Amino acid sequence: MGRLELTVTGIHGEPQRLDRWCAGCELPFTRSAFKQLVTAVLVNGRPVKLSRLVQNGDTVVLDWKDPPAASVEPQNIPLSILYENELVTVINKRQGMVTHPGSGNHDGTAVNALLFHWGKTVQDETGFRAGIVHRLDKDTSGVMITARDYQSELWLQNEFKERRVGKYYIAILCGKLPGATGKITARIARDPGNRKRFKVTERTDIGKTAVTFWKVLSVRGPYSLVAFKLGTGRTHQLRVHSRYMGCPILGDPIYGKRDALFPDATLMLHARLLLVRLPGAKERSRFKAPVPGRFRRILQTLDRAYGKS
C-alpha cells in the first residue's frame, strides 16, 4: 500500500476531472494501471470519485495498492555492491538507472537487478516491496541501501521516517555560494507551469518545508564543488535549492541550462555518504561511494583552466 499527497496546480480555465489531472502527474505506477490500483481518493479531506472536478489549490490524497508482483521481473543487470549481508544490500547506483519500475520505466531498474541478484521474486514474501526504502533520481548516482526481507524493510523504512539517517551528497555548481558554509530552509512545491518540476514557494498552504546544509569544498573559476547534507528528503530538493540560490547544478536538464564550457555534462550530483543503523544495530554504519569518473574529468578540466582555491 502507498499514499501520495498532491496539490492541484497548472489548471487553466475551467475545473478539470481528477483522473485527467492525475494523468499528468508523476505517479508510482503507470497511467493504464491508475484506476485498478487506486483504492481511495480524498479531495480537501473528503472522499470523492475520480470523476470529481478539481481546481488549483485543492489538496488530493491518493491511496493505492501495490501492483501485481508478476509485473516486476528479475533481470541480470550488473550492480556495484558496496556492502552486503543477509539483511541488506548497499549499492552504488549508476547514473541513468531508475530506482524502481514506474510510468515509462517498466524494466531495467535497480529493483529488477536486485531481485535477480538475490535470486528471488516479490512473491517470495507477503508484504515485501522489493527492498526499496529510499530512492535516488535517475540522473543521480551514489549510495543506496536496500532491504533483503520484509522485516529489514520495515526497520529501514522507520529509520528514514524518523530522520535518523545521515544523507550526504557532492555536487558541482555553476556559480559561487555566499560563504563557506550555510543552511537554506525553503518550502518546495510543484511548479504550476510544469508538474514534473518543483520550485521554492512562500505559500504555506502548498508544498513542504525543505532544509539543506551546504559546505563549499573548493572553487574553480565560476564553478564550485559543494558538499550537501539533507535535513529533509524532498523530491528534487538539492536541485531546486541550488537553483534558488542562483547556482544550479552543472548538467541539470530540468533546473539548469546548457553550459558553455561543458555542453554535454550530465547531472553532477552524487550521493557520497550514507549513515544508517542496520536492522538490529545500536550504532550507525557508514557507507561511502567513490567519486564518479564524470566528476574527476570535469574537475581536472577546471584545474587546468582556473586552478583550485
Strand partners, 6: 60
For residues 22 and 38, what is the distance between their CA atoms, to the nearest angstrom? 11
**Cβ-contact 8, 66 below 8 angstroms:** no
Active site residue 149: no
CA–CA gap between residue 305 and residue 174 (Å, rounded): 15
In Å, what is the CA distance from 244 to each residue of 41, 50, 98, 156, 209? 33, 35, 26, 31, 14
Distance CA 227, CA 221 (A): 18
Single out the catalytic residue among 58, 124, 137, 139. Answer: 137
Q: Which residues of 261-287 are buried (b: 16+ CB within 10 A; e: fewer)?
A: ebeebbbbbbbbbbbbbbbeeeeeeeb
Answer yes or no: are the C-beta atoms of 242 and 230 closer than 8 Å.
no
Q: What are 191's strand-pairing partners?
A: 194
DSSP string, 1-34: -EEEEEE-----SS-EEHHHHHTTS--SS-GGGH
| Active-site annotation, residues | 137
